[in-house]
Structure 1
């Protein structure tokens, strides 16, 4: 069985995912949703890293572009949320 390689992109993905989970739990427990734009920005970065890892793993440009577009849409929504408030 081939062993999985641990790379720097996986490390960043885990770090950003943990931050997203912690901020989301904090917002839900305290019912303070002022950190929601930060959560969305970190989520978009996580998705961007996932897209890069998927492209690097499969060399399939389609899924990389789809995940990149989703990441950019979430980033746009987060920036819009910051500018409205």
Structure 2
């Protein structure tokens, strides 16, 4: 289930990023960052779900929290 969710999120992030690059409109960037953070969070959870409990699972979760924080700031700054 997590693998399908990760693939689905990566396709959506890729589509939003290509659209932003082609149109030169970066209004969708906070959405892209939020979905990227969700994708990295799912990747970190997949790493932690393995038996090894590796360092990279924790790194992915920390990076995803930072990406979500940045996207929330982008939502709030564009809202004003």
Runs of 4+ residues over 3 Å off in structure 1: none
How far is the alpha carbon of 1:65 from its aligned partner? 1.5
How much is the aligned-residue C-alpha RMSD, in angstroms?
A: 1.1
Q: Of the candidates 10, 15, 18, which is equivalent to residue 22 of structure 1? A: 15
Alignment of 1:9-48 (within 5 A): 9-48=2-41
Larger Rg: 1
TM-score by length of 2: 0.91
Q: Of the candidates 60, 70, 73, which is equivalent to residue 77 of structure 1? A: 70
How far is the alpha carbon of 1:63 from its aligned partner? 2.1
Question: What runs of 5+ residues in structure 1 fail to find an aligned partner?
Answer: 1-7
Question: What runs of 5+ residues in structure 2 fail to find an aligned partner?
Answer: none
Q: Of the candidates 39, 54, 61, which is equivalent to residue 68 of structure 1? A: 61
Structure 1 CA distance, aligned partners of 2:7 and 2:26? 23
